[in-house]
Copies of this chain bind each other. A is one copy, B any other.
């Protein structure tokens, strides 16, 4: 069986089952971050890779922007667990012909984005490769119980932050050789890791489960359902779509907004008893926290259903899997 047949997640599932975690590993393989205890502290560990030709193309963004994005997509995993990003390791491979100036701009973009989030670059590695390959490892920290994918219960409300589909829309235009206007390309080029929101959810114990939306709403909500042993019902008309996506024809709107990926917003579930507290907390947090939208409810069973306004099931093409494109 090749990876294309098995798929990325099928493979990751198989790997994770064989591992025994030592006692100080609170969360191991299979969540946004691993959680490791160190005395009374908790460290969050996460790593992610961006490869030229697979995740991005040179020329789609400046080197500076690429650096910012490399930090953001990793910080998003720390945000999803409710942590602060503290230390970064940056492993970069580039072709020999790459100019030192370009690599410096990339590095500066990364360090600035990290610095703005209170995160220090403490180590790294540089080597040669046929194309750009960027692997970031972040060490996060939290003093609160971390948000995980497990913990959602029937009756919990499902929330997402910000708007969805914008990144996938920009990406699809870029792939087609078109230059999206800044308002459209921004969500793809400059995702905002929702660190303040994640901290708020963890500090006030508001969410029963959380994940960052990197692979598309349906797929990522599916991860939460599997980890929590529950199902989910999403009301299609409630999902907040990016402005540019709302003007698309219905089928494309759904594909971009529900299965597009790379939005790096947070999806989280909130028990009914904490809904009022979420409202109050979000109100006093003001602009530090993005718009939050309730899009559906956790139910018993398994799988994600998307329902139209009459309660009928809506069919949507699957999310992002590197091995199945």
Contacts and interface: CB of A to CB of B under 8 A. Distances in A.
Interface of A: 1-6, 8, 11-12, 14-15, 18-22, 25, 28-29, 33-34, 36, 38-41, 43, 45-49, 51, 53-55, 86-87, 89-91, 93-94, 96-101, 103-104, 107, 111, 120-131, 133, 135, 137, 139, 322-323
Contact of A41 (B33, B38, B98, B135): B38
* Count of identical protomers in the assembly: 2
B21 A123 contact: no
A17 to B, nearest CB: 11
A276 B169 CA distance: 69
A122 B8 contact: no
A298 B313 CA distance: 75
Given A1-B101, A39-B41, A111-B18, A51 B89 contact: no
A136 B323 CA distance: 21
Given A3-B98, A3-B126, A45-B139, 19 more contacts: A3-B99, A4-B97, A5-B100, A6-B100, A8-B127, A15-B107, A21-B122, A25-B120, A28-B120, A39-B41, A43-B43, A45-B87, A46-B89, A47-B89, A48-B125, A49-B127, A51-B127, A54-B127, A125-B135
A14 B47 contact: no
Identify the interface centre among A1, A107, A323: most chain B CB within 10 Å of its CB.
Answer: A323
B41 A122 contact: no
Contacts of A38: 38-39, 41, 43
Contacts of A323: 96, 128
A123 B29 CA distance: 4
Nearest to A10: B100
Nearest to A44: B123
Contact of A11 (B18, B54, B103, B135): B103
Contact of A139 (B36, B86, B111): B36
Given A3-B96, A36-B139, A22 B128 contact: no
Contacts of A29: 121-124
A177 to B, nearest CB: 21
30 contacts: A1-B100, A2-B100, A4-B97, A14-B100, A14-B104, A15-B124, A19-B120, A19-B121, A20-B120, A21-B122, A28-B120, A28-B123, A29-B124, A33-B123, A34-B122, A38-B38, A38-B41, A39-B40, A43-B43, A45-B122, A47-B124, A47-B135, A49-B93, A49-B135, A51-B93, A51-B128, A54-B127, A89-B137, A126-B322, A139-B139
Contact of A48 (B91, B96, B104): B91
Identify the interface centre among A8, A21, A120, A131: most chain B CB within 10 Å of its CB.
Answer: A120
